[in-house]
Structures are given as C-alpha cells and as structure tokens.
Chain A
Amino acid sequence: MSIHILPAEVASQIAAGEVVERPASVVKELVENSLDAGASSITISIEGAGQRLVEVIDDGCGIPAEELALAVERHATSKLSQAADLFNIQTLGFRGEALASIGSVSNLTLVSRTAHSQVGAKLRMEGGQLLNLQPAGAPPGTTVRVEALFYNVPARLKFLKSEATERRLIDNLVVRYALAYPNVRFQLMQDKRPALQTSGRGERREILVALYGAEAARQMLEVNSIDGEMRISGFISPPSLTRSHRRDIFFYVNRRPVQDGALSAALLKGYHTLLMVGRYPLGAIFIEMPPDAVDVNVHPTKAEVRFRQPEQVFAALQSAVRRALLAHSPAPGLNISLHWGSGEQRPSSFTGHFDPSWPSMEKFPPQEASVEAQDANPPISASPPARASSQPGLPDQRVPLLRPVGQIAAAYLAAEGPDGLYLIDQHAAHERVLFERFLAQRSSGIPSQALLQPAAVHLSAAEARLLADQLPTLASLGFQVEPFGPGVFLVRAIPALLANSNPEDALRVLVENFEEDETPLQALQEERIIARVCKRAAVKAGAILSMEEQRALLFDLEACQSPRTCPHGRPTMIHLSVDLLERQFGRKGAR
C-alpha cells in the first residue's frame, strides 16, 4: 500500500465531517452566516428532516456576484483577514469552512444580491464541483439551498438518527438562535409546516415559550447583572421548576450558543441549597464580554469556548443567579390548578403577564409550545404570578408575618399570613433556621459548648482518615474533636446550636457526609457539613410542638434570608392564597 496525497474532494469530505455532521449542523452554519450578514429576517425551510432540503433565506447584506465563486472555496471568508483578528472575533463564523464543507457533501445552490447591485447571481455546485455561475434576479440578501445532503457520503447518512430526532435537533437549534437574536425574525418550516415563528420585536420571553413551553416560560425569572465589562442576562427557573437533567440549561457567550460544564456548574452553585439532589434548573444565560476575553476558536463547531479569566466569569454568573433567586423565590403554590384547568385563571394570568408579545404565542403549533411540559410536571403555581418579573438586587423573598394556627400530623404547621394560608414543614423550616444561624455565626466565631464528659466515637479506619483531614474545618464549626488512639476520637465540645443533640451522632453524621459527596471546594464542603449537621439537629417530624414553640419557629423563620427552602432544597412551606381558597370553595370565579 503506497502513501499518496488524497484527491481534493476526498480531503474536503473528510474536513466536512468536522463541521457538518448532521442536517442540524448545516442549519447552524447557514443561520450563523445569515446572522453575520446582518439579516433582520431569516426563513428556514426543512424537508425530509434536512436530508432532502435545507433552505435558508435571509435579507442580509448579500454576496457580490464576483465574490460568489470565492465564497464556496475552503478558508474563504469575509469575516477575518489576519491572524490577529482571531482574538477579536465579533462574528459567529470566521473559519471560512462552512459553505465549502456543505458544498462538498450536497447539491448546493447559492443565490445572492447585495442591496446596491441591480442584479444578483446564482451559483450551483454538486458534490464540491462548481457547475455554473450566472446572473439571476433575486431579492436583496442570500438564499442558500442545500439539497440531497450527504448523498455522496453514505457512511454519514447511515449514522443519522431517526427523522424525528434530526427534526427536533433542528427545532432546538433554531430556537436557541432565535433566543439569542430576538430582534431577528425567524421562521422555521418543517416539511412546509410552520415549526417556529418569532416576531423579531426583541421580546425574549416569547421565544422562551418555544424553548420551554408556555407554563415554564411564564415562571422563568430574569437575570440581569453587570460586572465590569461583563454583562450577564437571561432567564433562570425558580427553584420550584426543575428538570431531572441539565439539557435545558443553555449558555450564550457573546450571543454564541456554547456548551460548558463549568458554566452550568457555576449556575447550579447559584442555586446552592435551593434545589433537591438530582434536580436541575432551566436556564438561558447570555454572557456578554469583550471579544478578547474569550477564545472561541477551540473547536470547529465553536460549541466550546475558553475564558481568559474563567473564575471571574463563574463567580459573576453564580452571584447573578443567586441575586435573581433571592429577589424572587415564592413559596411553591399548591399544584391543584388541574381541578379547574378549564377555568379562566391560567389564560388570564398569561395575557396579563406579558401583554406585548403574547399574540404571537397563538402562532406556535401546540406541540411545539409544550416541548417539555409533560416531561417533568413542573409544579403549577396556583397563585397569580405576582412577582414573576423580579427586581434584581432587591432580596425580597422573606416570608410575611405569620400567625400560628396549629400543628398538623405532628409534622406541619399551619399559619396565617396576610395573603392566605401557609403550610410549613416543621423539620425543613427548623433546618433552615439552624442553617442560617450557623452561617450568621460563622463570621464572628461559632460558639461551642464543652461537654461534661468527652464522648468517645469509634470509627472505621477509612472514616477516621476522612475525619482526621477535616479536624480544622470542624474546629471552626465549633466541634472540638481530638484523636484518641486508632479509630477513636474524643468529642470535647460541640456547637452550642446543637446542644440538644447527641455529640456522637453529630460526628458520625459528618463522617457519613464526607463519604457521600467529596467536593474539593472548601466553602461548599463547609456549607454541606453545616447543612448536614442542621438536618440532624432539626426538630423531627412527629415531634409535637407547643403553641409557644410553633410561634418561636415561625418567628425564627421570618428572620431567615431564604426561608422558603430547607438547605437541601426542599420547600419549607406551601402557600394557599385567599384567592385560591375562595375558588376552591366556589365563592369566586368559574367552578
């Protein structure tokens, strides 16, 4: 077997594999080109899930006739001219590979006219071979038709997923771009049926409906924060709205959709203690920063980016998320709206909520509007969406003054607030109270109470090693623990807050804690320890509380920063508004 240089078309087919791996990548490249061309309207037509046809029509700047042939050459681009530009990329594309790659694996037709030329031009290419180039009449802008995709790459064809999957990928992709460019009118047709239509009026929330479904979109909280040259905006779900996966978290860096595990980790950290284990929020976060602070030339599809100062970005994201959550974190309403699903409540609250953009909602086909609605049963807030548009920076999620009414099943407290009935989980609430007390005391030093008799705790070798590593952390939390022979530790003092609990148990809980989740992050670790300790120390369900104790617990809860969830993210309270009660009793509204 002799070594030889590959023929040009083989080489370009190989290269095409990097950029164009499925119909959705074609759509991505073409939509990016249209956006870079400054289009204000983009119409995408898909047939046969993109294998038969992908057509993208835009009203952008167009390509002059004389440059049309060049456009389909490899490494030909108008977006970059010298290497230094790579560090200051303002456009979505820049590699000059897309059209050439697409052209080499399909039949490509390119029609374009610039605004100031009288006549446009039309280029046709089959499997990478330029067939003809002729003047043609066309509206200003560019039309790209990609037919018979992968006709000459059967291997690629074989690895495509089902048509439904490919169609869904295209839908999701276009929605994501639409969200990033709310001022561009997107129209997506799948097999001649409209799949997405945006108004181009700059209203992002209307596009969220297509992304997350109407109900989820309505609940999404706005994030908005500026940190130096960096601006973080977008939407995140309230803690009550979660998914079992991270697929509904989207990030955009300078309006470019990116995937970054570290970014989603930072987002999750913003939700710290508000989410249950194994639940993930929804989110569409836009990070805008100077182009030179981020490197997008990491991967051919540009799905990955590298930040020059990643820590700064993550910290800014985390605090922006946290602020938005603190500013708005209502008690989850009771999920009983289904009983009167046909009533007026839901639609009226919708239109009341985002009037300006709402009419376009009707244009979405219903199956598109509820993309994920059935997936996770988001708890539907029965109370009107009072504060959905949050005011960032104003942490106003404290509970109102509550009057204890009584205890239910020795586990829940019923309390009256100015806006209805609150049901409170006594264990979760006490956990939250203890947790915040710990955190509050941490700054000034956590008081510890010495034990009359040191308690000896016997541990396995592995547990003992874990504990030995954490002694300084424990000391700062008020645990005075010292090694006392192999596998034995003496507890001499425990945090004063835990004075009612068994010291041996408290320590054992901590060792179990270390085993379960080992995080390298010290701060997080410490908070987890605190959370775990508080869980152990909090009053249990089944404990009968006197009226005085109930009042004290409610009083303490009112003083909390985030009283609505326990440190592990379970809700501490359910709110039944007076309005809801009136409806339930048939006093008001449709039955």
Chain B
Amino acid sequence: MRVSVLQENLARGLSIVSRAVSPRSTLPVLANVLVATDEGRLRLSATNLELGITCWIGAKIQDEGSTTVPARTFSDLVATLPGGNQVEMSLTVRTQTLNVRCGASNTDLKCIDAQEFPPMPVSDVSQGLELNVMDFKEMIQQVVFAASTDDARPILTGVLVTVKGDTITLAAADGFRLSVRKARLSSPVARPLSAVIPARALSELARIASDGDKTLTMITPPGRAQVIFRVGDVELVSQLIDGMFPDYEQIIPRRCDTRAVLSTSAFLKACKQAEIFAREGSHIAKLNIQPGGELKPGVVEITGQSEETGSNQNIVDANIEGPGLLIAFNVRFLREVLDVIRTPNVALETTANNLPGVIRPVESQDDQSEFLHVIMPMHLGS
C-alpha cells in the first residue's frame, strides 16, 4: 500500500473513527484503526464489535492495500504533523510496518494484518430512510439522556426507534422516566420499522453528524440485527438491542388535573440551584404548585435541601390551571429534561403526588407538541 493524504483530512478521519476504538479489549486488533484503500479513497474504520465507525477520506493512491494501525499512536502522531502537508504512507507487507512521512518527519509504525480486523458490513444506501441531520440530532438529544446506563436491563439502555407512515418516533426510558419525541417525515415509508438502537450509538451519531451535512440515511438491512447510519462520508454501524421495549404508550397519562406553564429558563435555573442542595441526599426536590388568585399569579415553589449543606428555595411564576399540589421529583431528572427543551415555555402536568408528571414544551399555535417527558414522582417516607 502506498498512499498520500492531506494531514487535515487524516486527522479529522482519525478523530471521528477513534471513538469506536476499544483500547482495553482482549482482542488487540480492536485497539487499531483499519486503513485501507477503497475505490480511490482511503477508508478508516474502527470497531468495538458493538459499534463501528468508518470514514472515507480523499487520497492519492499509488498502490492498493490495507493494514491496521494502533489507534492511539497514530492519532497522536498525525495530530502533531504539520498542517497543509501531504502525509505519505507506505506499507511493508512482510513486516507489517507502515512508514509515515510528512515534512521532515519519518515514522515506522508496527501494524497488525488487516485480515484480523472484523469485517465491516457493506451498506446499500439506496434502501435507506432519509432524515434531516439537524432535526434528527435534536431528536436524539431529547431522548438519549433518559436511557438507562445500567446493564442489568439491557433493553432500557437503548432507544426505541419506530417509523410508521410519515412519522418517526424515538423513545427512551430508564424505569423512572420516559422521553418520547416524534417527527414528521417528508414522505411516508412503505415498510414500517421498529428497532432498539443503543443510546451510545445515537450519541456518537449526534456527535459525528456535523451541521454542514444536510441529510442522513438510516439503513436497517433485513435479516441482520444492525443499523447503519450514513452521513456524508462517514458510516456508523451499530448492533441492535434484542428484546421487547416496554409499551410506553400506556405509561403516558391520558389526562391531568393541574397544568402549570412556566418559563423554561427560570424553571431550569431553579432546578439547578435546588440540585446543588439535593444532590447530597437522594436528589429529591419538592415542587409546591400554588394556583394564583384574582390578584396574584400562580407560582411553583422549588425546594432542595440536605442535612449537611442546607436548603434552597426558588419561586417561579407560573400560569396554573387546576388545584394546587405538593409533589417531589428527582431534580436531576427535571434538570436533564429542561436542558433539552428549546421552547421559551414549558408545561408541567400533574394529577397527584403519587402519579407521574408530564413535561411538554409549549409550542406555538400552529405546531403541535412533538416532545413529551414522563417523570415518576418521589415520596418522602413516613
């Protein structure tokens, strides 16, 4: 293999794929990045067997070939090579040594034969579902945080992605809260789809997908428990999580007694302050929802306290319909959901202190609510 690439391109490609490198794996080749010539371009791939990322970069190819290069060493090296220069790479197959020259720098890297690298799936982009990058990134950000990080319930570490008709829905839950985000597709799909994708893979996708890219393609090859995302010259492959995702529709309360509309930023700020105090205990924050009278507006009083640090109270003005209520929530859950709500106002819907609360962004008139978040309350024992 003899190739020449621009330093910037190589550095960017390596930084994208190296997120999938598993440095602590028992399989040494998984700590390496596959470097291969591929139809006039240079292909960089890394995988940890669950998640694989491939990036194609432009290159001048003199001889075809492939090898795997230690990811950490290679990335660190390339990052320090002079920018704007061509990086010349040539592989000695017999010794699996990659010679890297750039400017005055000359390096020999010990490599592992590309034969040992796990095969990466080949995608057929034409079969895929086209999505808007910006929209899908926001969708991901609004649900992934609610996914469980506990491996004891693997299904909940994933995000349920369903596509039906002209609607795509993302849902994630961790046993105490549920985040659901819907979006309209530009054109209805012929084949409905339902898959549980690891939350981590989606987070990586959101990170990789740069704002410059317009569309993103999602491919679920039939018969394989995999999903492939193609965005620009990057492809991300993830194993799907096997199992039944809980039927979240029945968890979403059908109605509510009390509906409080608050300023998202004021509510978020109050929650952040309460969390400073609540984190010492069990992250418990008390919300006292007090409807207004004729003259005074309604308020929501948010209290966080701990025996060690003290207590904090914030009063946020609110437009309240329905009776008052004292309810407690995990303040971290509140903060995390308020963090991803873009609208200036947010609605908190509650019924009783032992029934779930629902948080929805308050959209403008013409746009109906596509996001909702369900949080289970906490109780203070007797």
Majority DSSP secondary structure for residues of A touching B: mixed
Q: Which residues of B contact A501 (CB under 8 A)?
A: 150, 152
Q: Chain A CB within 10 Å — which of B175, B307, B374 has the most?
A: B175
Q: Which residues of A contact B281 (CB under 8 A)?
A: 441, 447
Query: Closest CB of chain A to B145's CB: distance in Å?
Result: 15
* A499 lies within 8 A of B379 (CB): no
Q: Who on chain A is nearest to B24 by CB?
A: A544
- Find residues 492-532 in chain A having any chain B CB closer than 8 Å to their own CB: 493, 496-497, 499-503, 505
Known contacts being A452-B251, A452-B356, is A447 close to B381, with CB within 8 Å?
yes
Bound: A449/B333 CA distance, A: 12
Q: Which residues of A contact B173 (CB under 8 A)?
A: 452
Query: Closest CB of chain B to A182's CB: distance in Å?
Result: 46
- Whether A450 is near chain B, meaning CB under 8 Å from some CB there, is yes
- Whether A281 is near chain B, meaning CB under 8 Å from some CB there, is no
Q: Which residues of B contact A440 (CB under 8 A)?
A: 307
Query: Closest CB of chain B to A474's CB: distance in Å?
Result: 11
Q: Which residues of A contact B234 (CB under 8 A)?
A: none
Q: Which residues of A contact B102 (CB under 8 A)?
A: none
Partner of A450, one of B150, B246, B283, B379: B379
* A451 lies within 8 A of B284 (CB): no
Q: Chain A CB within 10 Å — which of B150, B380, B382 has the most?
A: B380
- Find residues 206-265 in chain A having any chain B CB closer than 8 Å to their own CB: none
Bound: A418/B199 CA distance, A: 43
* B177 lies within 8 A of A446 (CB): no
**Per-residue contact bits, chain B 298-339, to A (CB 8 Å; 1 contact, 0 not):** 000000000100000000000000000000101000000000
Q: Which residues of B contact A480 (CB under 8 A)?
A: 379
Q: Which residues of B contact A500 (CB under 8 A)?
A: 150
* B376 lies within 8 A of A448 (CB): no
* A448 lies within 8 A of B382 (CB): no
* B282 lies within 8 A of A497 (CB): yes
Bound: A475/B380 CA distance, A: 11
* A445 lies within 8 A of B380 (CB): yes
Known contacts being A441-B282, A447-B284, is A493 close to B178, with CB within 8 Å?
no
* B377 lies within 8 A of A502 (CB): no
* B381 lies within 8 A of A448 (CB): yes
* A448 lies within 8 A of B378 (CB): yes
Q: Who on chain B is nearest to A445 by CB?
A: B381
* A478 lies within 8 A of B381 (CB): yes
Q: Which residues of B contact A450 (CB under 8 A)?
A: 176, 354, 356, 376-379
Bound: A446/B374 CA distance, A: 23
Query: Closest CB of chain B to A321's CB: distance in Å?
Result: 28
Query: Closest CB of chain B to A459's CB: distance in Å?
Result: 19
Q: Which residues of A contact B153 (CB under 8 A)?
A: 502
Bound: A453/B175 CA distance, A: 7
Bound: A502/B175 CA distance, A: 9
Bound: A157/B381 CA distance, A: 66
Q: Which residues of A contact B356 (CB under 8 A)?
A: 450, 452
- Whether A477 is near chain B, meaning CB under 8 Å from some CB there, is yes
Query: Closest CB of chain B to A450's CB: distance in Å?
Result: 4
Q: Chain B CB within 10 Å — which of A444, A446, A450, A501 has the most?
A: A450
* A446 lies within 8 A of B381 (CB): yes
Q: Who on chain B is nearest to A503 by CB?
A: B175
Bound: A501/B148 CA distance, A: 11
* A499 lies within 8 A of B176 (CB): yes
* B381 lies within 8 A of A476 (CB): yes
* A447 lies within 8 A of B382 (CB): no
Q: Which residues of A contact B177 (CB under 8 A)?
A: 452
**Per-residue contact bits, chain A 164-203, to B (CB 8 Å; 1 contact, 0 not):** 0000000000000000000000000000000000000000
Known contacts being A450-B377, A502-B152, is A445 close to B382, with CB within 8 Å?
yes
Bound: A503/B184 CA distance, A: 36
Bound: A235/B283 CA distance, A: 44
Partner of A452, one of B152, B376, B378, B380: B376
Bound: A414/B118 CA distance, A: 37
Query: Closest CB of chain B to A555's CB: distance in Å?
Result: 11
Q: Who on chain B is nearest to A498 by CB?
A: B282
Q: Which residues of B contact A475 (CB under 8 A)?
A: 381-382
* B152 lies within 8 A of A448 (CB): no
- Find residues 418-464 in chain A having any chain B CB closer than 8 Å to their own CB: 440-441, 444-453
* B284 lies within 8 A of A452 (CB): no
**Contact residues of B with A, CB < 8 Å?**
150, 152-153, 173, 175-178, 246, 251, 281-284, 307, 328, 330, 354, 356, 374, 376-382
Closest 4 CB pairs of A and B: A496-B282, A445-B381, A450-B376, A446-B381
**Contact residues of A with B, CB < 8 Å?**
440-441, 444-453, 475-478, 480, 493, 496-497, 499-503, 505
Q: A452-B374, A453-B175 are in contact. List 13 more A-B contacts (CB 8 A).
A: A445-B382, A447-B281, A447-B284, A447-B328, A447-B381, A448-B379, A450-B378, A453-B246, A453-B251, A477-B381, A478-B379, A493-B379, A496-B283
What are 18 A-B residue pairs whose CB atoms fall within 8 Å in the complex? Answer: A445-B381, A445-B382, A447-B284, A447-B380, A448-B381, A450-B354, A450-B376, A450-B377, A450-B379, A452-B178, A493-B376, A496-B282, A496-B378, A499-B175, A499-B176, A499-B282, A501-B150, A502-B153
